Amino acid sequence: MFLKVRLSWNVVVPAECLDAKGLMLQRSIIIRLMDDFSVKKATKDLGYFLAVTTLEKIGEGKVRQHTGDVLFPVDFSGITFKIYRGEILEGVVHKILKHGAFLRCGPVENMYLSYQKMPDYRYVPGENPIFMNDKMSKIEKDVVVRVIVIGTKYVEAEREFQAVVSLEGDFLGPVS
């Protein structure tokens, strides 16, 4: 789910990026904010950081004593993406294993679909393994699959989410 968030961060602008002209200062603050935004990647509460939409306010800068860098409090709006239990998503299969498949959905790289959560599908081994049902519907690499999220986990070390998904429900499975 996409979320619109309002955030307040502190942005540190190195002394060499400071300029007497206000526009250059504002530009430096925005560039630094964008860098910080992309490096942060995700948080447990807000999900993945996707875009800064509006710069609301730049507060008064405070000079750091030892470095000469200036710290500016900044208020801005942005867009994040977070997955929730019970949400219906579409993911692209990127890996098939004997016991299930891994899907990608937006910035989420690891959504696991266990063979136990694929009713009527059976594993077909080979050079390009697939899961197939009696109606010849296939789950294979690069196929888009509509799934329901049954559990999520945030991994702090990698700053990313993992999810367990299922095909158990109405209108779920490969998308034509």
The pLDDT value recorded for residue 21 is: 59
Domain match, 19 and 45 both: yes
Domain match, 76 and 126 both: no
Q: pLDDT for 52-77, tens place per residue? A: 999 999 999 898 888 888 999 999 99
We report the CATH number of the domain holding residue 55 as 3.30.1490.120
As a whole number of angstroms, the distance between CA 72 and CA 30 comes to: 11
As a whole number of angstroms, the distance between CA 165 and CA 88 comes to: 9
Domain match, 94 and 150 both: yes
We report the CATH number of the domain holding residue 111 as 2.40.50.140
Domain match, 133 and 63 both: no
Given a contact cutoff of 8 angstroms between Cβ atoms, the answer to whether 3 and 42 are in contact is no
Is residue 152 pLDDT above 70, yes or no?
A: yes
**Token pair for residue 106?**
């937006």
Q: pLDDT for 92-120, tens place per residue? A: 999 999 999 999 999 999 999 999 999 99
Domain match, 64 and 7 both: yes
The pLDDT value recorded for residue 22 is: 55
Answer with the one of 31, 59, 81 that is the final residue of a domain.
Answer: 81
Q: Which amino acid belongs to residue 73?
A: P
Domain match, 55 and 98 both: no
Q: What is the residue range of 70's domain?
A: 2-81
The total domain count for the chain is: 2
Domain match, 30 and 67 both: yes
